C-alpha cells in the first residue's frame, strides 16, 4: 500500500501514530485561519467578478463527486436560460500558458482530466489557471456570461464568491476531523458553519445539516467507438477489471458491485497517468473505468474497454433551495416572472 493510501486509511479509520503529526497540524491550522481572516477583513488582492461566482468545493482531501455535481449545475442553470462558465485549477494540466481555454479536442495532459471531461460532456466555456481570479477575468473577457462556477477553490481566497457549496462523502464523512497532515481536513470543521450549503454524496435523504445527492449510473460507453449501451449489456455476475484513479476508488468499486457485477478492483492514484501496458491485466476480461479515467485512455483503448457514465441527482429540497439562490443572485434574469 502506497504511503498516501496508508495515510488516507489512517485519517478515516484511526491510527495512534497520527498523534505525532499534531504539532504540524497546529501550524497548518494557524496558517489557514489567518488566510481566511485576511479574506474576511477584505485584506489583500481579492478579485470581485462582475457576475455571481458559485464555488463548489471540499473541506476534505479526496473525491466527493464534484465533477458530476458541476455538470448537473451547468445543465440546471442552462435550463433556466442562464449562460454559464466554469473555472478550474486544472490539476496536472500542462498547457502552453495560463490562463488556458479548454477545448474538446485537447489532450488530458494539456487540459487536465476533470476540466476536459466537463467540456467534452457539456461544451461549457471553461478556463483553467492555478490563479482562479485570473481565470475568471479571462473567461469574462472571452464570453458573455451570467454566472461562473468555480470547480473547487473553496480555499482560494483571492477570489470573491457569492455562494459556497461544500460536498462531503456521506460514508467517509470528515474522518478523524483533524486538519492536514493529522487528518483529511483542508480547513477546520467549523468552516462548514459559514458555507451556504452542504451536500452529502450518497446520503439516503436530506440531513439537518445538509442536502442529499447520489451519483446514478446511466450507461456504459465504449472508449473506442463512443457507443452508449444500457447497463444490462453486462449480465448479472459479469466479471470485469475495474479501474479507478479518483479520490475515493472504493466508491466506484462499490457502485459496480451494486450493479451486480463482479469487479476485480485496480485502484490508482487520483489523476493517474495511464498506459496500455499499465492497464493490461490477466485474466482477459472486459475493462470498465470512470469517465475521468477514460479521457486519458481513448487513444490506446482496446475494443472491450468501457466507462460508466454517472449523473448527479440532488434532492428536491436542494433544487428548490438552489433556485431560490439563483433568484437572489440574479433578480433580473430569465428566472424572473
pLDDT in tens, 112-156: 999 999 999 999 999 999 999 999 999 999 999 999 999 999 999
Q: Which pLDDT does position 1 carry in this prediction? A: 45
Least confident of 4-8, 220-224, 327-331: 4-8
pLDDT band at 334 (very low <50, low <70, confident <90, very high): low
E strands within the chain? 53-57, 84-88, 100-101, 125-128, 147-151, 163-169, 197-201, 211-222, 228-229, 239-244, 262-267, 287-290, 305-314
Rounded to the nearest integer, the mean pLDDT of the chain is 95
Q: How many residues does the chain have?
A: 337
> How do strand 239-244 and strand 262-267 relate by DSSP bridges?
parallel
The pLDDT value given to residue 335: 54
Domain boundary assignment for the chain: 3-212+314-329, 215-313
pLDDT score of 3: 56
pTM, to two decimals: 0.94
Alpha-helix runs per DSSP H in the chain: 3-13, 22-40, 66-79, 108-111, 113-122, 132-142, 249-258, 291-294, 316-329
pLDDT in tens, 178-204: 999 999 999 999 999 999 999 999 999
Confidence at 2, pLDDT banded by 50, 70, 90: low
Segment 85-110 shows an average pLDDT of 96
- Residue 242 is predicted with a pLDDT of 98
| pLDDT at position 288 over 50 | yes
Helix axis angle for 66-79 and 316-329, nearest 10°, is: 60
What whole-number distance in Å separates Cα of residue 6 and Cα of residue 45? 38
Q: Which CATH architecture has domain 3-212+314-329?
A: 3-Layer(aba) Sandwich (3.40)
- Nearest alpha-carbon partner for 142 in 111, 103, 183: 103
- Asked if the model's pLDDT at residue 52 lies above 60, the reply is yes
pLDDT at 305 over 90: yes
Dihedral in degrees, nearest 10, Cα atoms 135, 140, 145, 150: 20
Give the Cβ contact number of residue 235 at 10 Å: 8
β-pair type (163-169, 53-57)? parallel
The pLDDT of residue 284 is above 80: yes
pLDDT band at 214 (very low <50, low <70, confident <90, very high): very high
For 13-24, write each residue's pLDDT tens digit. 999 999 999 999
* 337 band by pLDDT with thresholds 50, 70 and 90: very low
**16: number of Cβ within 10 Å:** 7
Percent of the chain, pLDDT > 70?
97
Number of Cβ within a 10 Å radius of residue 89: 20
The rounded distance, in Å, linking the Cα atoms of 330 and 322 is 12
Phi-psi region of 160 (alpha: psi -120 to 50; beta: other; left: phi over 0): beta
Looking at residue 9, what is its pLDDT? 86
Structure confidence at residue 104 (pLDDT): 96
Give Cβ neighbours of residue 40 (< 8 Å, ≥ 6 apart): none
- pLDDT (tens digit per residue) in 215-241: 999 999 999 999 999 999 999 999 999
Cell 479548454 sits on residue = 102
Amino acid at each position: 500500500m502506497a504511503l498516501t493510501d496508508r495515510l488516507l486509511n489512517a485519517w478515516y479509520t484511526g491510527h495512534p501514530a497520527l498523534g505525532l503529526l499534531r504539532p504540524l497540524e497546529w501550524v497548518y491550522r494557524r496558517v489557514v485561519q489567518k488566510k481566511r481572516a485576511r479574506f474576511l477583513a477584505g485584506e489583500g488582492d481579492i478579485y470581485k467578478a462582475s457576475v455571481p461566482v458559485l464555488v463548489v468545493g471540499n473541506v476534505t482531501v479526496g473525491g466527493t463527486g464534484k465533477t458530476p455535481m458541476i455538470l448537473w449545475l451547468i445543465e440546471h442553470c442552462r435550463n433556466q436560460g442562464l449562460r454559464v462558465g466554469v473555472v478550474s485549477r486544472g490539476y496536472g494540466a500542462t498547457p502552453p500558458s495560463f490562463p488556458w481555454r479548454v477545448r474538446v479536442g485537447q489532450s488530458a495532459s494539456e487540459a487536465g482530466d476533470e476540466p476536459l471531461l466537463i467540456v467534452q460532456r457539456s461544451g461549457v466555456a471553461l478556463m483553467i489557471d492555478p490563479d482562479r481570479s485570473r481565470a475568471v477575468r479571462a473567461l469574462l473577457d472571452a464570453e458573455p456570461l451570467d454566472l461562473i462556477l468555480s470547480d473547487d477553490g473553496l480555499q482560494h481566497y483571492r477570489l470573491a464568491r457569492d455562494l459556497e457549496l461544500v460536498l462531503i462523502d456521506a460514508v467517509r464523512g470528515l474522518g478523524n476531523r483533524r486538519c492536514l497532515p493529522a487528518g483529511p481536513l483542508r480547513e477546520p470543521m467549523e468552516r462548514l458553519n459559514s458555507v451556504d450549503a452542504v451536500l452529502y454524496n450518497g446520503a439516503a435523504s436530506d440531513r439537518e445539516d445538509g442536502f442529499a445527492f447520489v451519483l446514478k449510473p446511466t450507461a456504459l460507453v465504449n472508449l473506442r467507438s463512443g457507443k452508449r449501451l444500457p447497463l444490462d449489456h453486462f449480465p448479472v455476475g459479469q466479471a470485469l477489471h475495474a479501474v479507478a484513479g479518483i479520490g475515493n476508488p472504493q466508491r466506484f468499486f462499490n457502485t459496480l458491485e451494486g450493479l451486480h457485477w463482479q469487479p476485480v478492483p485496480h485502484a490508482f492514484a487520483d489523476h493517474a497517468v495511464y498506459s496500455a501496458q499499465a492497464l493490461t491485466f490477466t485474466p482477459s476480461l472486459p475493462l470498465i473505468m470512470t469517465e475521468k479515467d477514460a479521457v486519458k485512455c481513448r487513444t490506446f483503448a482496446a475494443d472491450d474497454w468501457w466507462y460508466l457514465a454517472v449523473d448527479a441527482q440532488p434532492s428536491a429540497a436542494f433544487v428548490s433551495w438552489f433556485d431560490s439562490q439563483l433568484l437572489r443572485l440574479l433578480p433580473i434574469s430569465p428566472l424572473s416572472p
